[in-house]
Structure 1
Amino acid sequence: MMAEVVTVSMNDEGATVDVAILADGFGIDAADVEPLMRQGRLTSRFEKGVGSDAGRSRLTFWLDAKRFRIVIDGQGTVLKKFRTDYGTLGRR
């Protein structure tokens, strides 16, 4: 059985990520993604690769103390996904 290839839609303004990818990455319900974005709790950054990373892009998303990153190729195929959970570091 072949693994499903996950893709991100690319356009001139950046990338569009399916809410299911974000929900899975943060371990939340897909229905919660858009409200969290509207509230400003889920934010993002899109970066195009240069030099040895040319042709790739990195999408970084933040939700509270969690960071979720996706690295994609020029066609939007997801190459890597990883999450960092900073927990309550620095909070009292």
Structure 2
Amino acid sequence: MELEPTDNGFAIAPTDLGRLFDRDPDEMRQMMQDGSMTCLVERGEGDDAGRFRVTLRDDIRRVRLVVDADGKVLTTVRVPFVAQKGAPGPR
């Protein structure tokens, strides 16, 4: 799987996103549009220069991808999302 570099970070195909979250690609498109799927892109510094951490989150799962500048996925971590007591849920 590869992400497509964009001016604002990276784009990921809905089919790839669906596989990561065990959801239908059309459902993933809707979730991205309505904000129930969030994404954070962080640029690596120092030893991690040239790499990016892309964190995607819905109401039940967090997926963290480490990608190079060309969008090649180097690592993938999928974990259940559990909000801490009293903390707001995903935004």
Q: TM-score, normalised by structure 2?
A: 0.83
Q: Structure 2: which 5+ runs fail to align?
A: 87-91
With over 3 angstroms needed to count, the CA separation of the structure-2 counterparts of 1:12 and 1:40, relative to structure 1, is: closer
Q: TM-score, normalised by structure 1?
A: 0.82
- Give runs of aligned pairs for residues 56-75 of structure 1, distance below 5 A: 56-75=51-70
Q: CA deviation at 1:28?
A: 0.7
Equivalent residue number for residue 44 of structure 1: 39
Identity among equivalent pairs (%)? 30
C-alpha contact 1:65 1:88 (8 A) present in aligned 2? no
C-alpha contact 1:68 1:81 (8 A) present in aligned 2? yes
C-alpha contact 1:19 1:30 (8 A) present in aligned 2? yes
Larger-Rg structure: 1
Q: CA deviation at 1:13?
A: 2.0
- CA RMSD in angstroms, aligned pairs only: 1.8
Q: Structure 1: which 5+ runs fail to align?
A: 1-5
